[in-house]
Amino acid sequence: MGQSVICMSLCLLLLVLGHSMVTAKVKPDIGILTDSSPPKIYVFPMANIVVNESTEIPFSSTIYNPGAVDYDPVDEKIYFTDDGSDNGGTDYIGKVKADGTEFEQIISITDPRGLALDVEERKLFFTNAAGGVYCASLDGTGVKNIVDIDDGFGADSIVVDRLRR
């Protein structure tokens, strides 16, 4: 893992401290984190947060720059953004099972950033660097632009408030 151990350790430290900048959501028994150098997504047991015990998801295709992640415990799928156009890939939102099976690119979007699931309503909310905030079904259909944030910086994160929908 080399240099990525430093990044992953920092990400885990931030996760433990509760900083909102960490792009990892967890269900009670697993944690998920991304690493952009080299581009990988890892799953690790929450019982003992040890980076060396994380498992790399074995993708059947190349991922380039994974970013935001969230987990759907109903379908047991990990949703993620991949801002790969700067590295010779494509920009998209994808989903995959933790064992690497059932990988799909479900939405093509330029410069994807934030991502959040509303599992109960079966909706996916996401943002891009141009400031767009979008909503779609978890299968990637029915994409709707909710709002555009014209501040010159875009929208990097999004959270679904499940209590005040």
**CA-based nearest residue to 117, from 85, 83, 76, 57:** 76
**pLDDT (0 to 100) of residue 51:** 53
Handedness of CA 19, 74, 119, 157 (dihedral sign): positive
42 φ, ψ (degrees, to nearest 5): -120, 150
Q: Which domains does the chain have, with CATH numbers?
A: 4-110 (2.120.10.30)
Q: Is residue 25 pLDDT above 70, yes or no? A: no
Enter the tokens of residue 53.
């015990």
The model carries a pTM of 0.75
Q: Is residue 147 pLDDT above 50, yes or no? A: yes
110-122 pLDDT tens trace: 999 999 999 999 9
68-108 pLDDT tens trace: 999 998 999 999 999 988 777 899 999 999 888 899 999 99
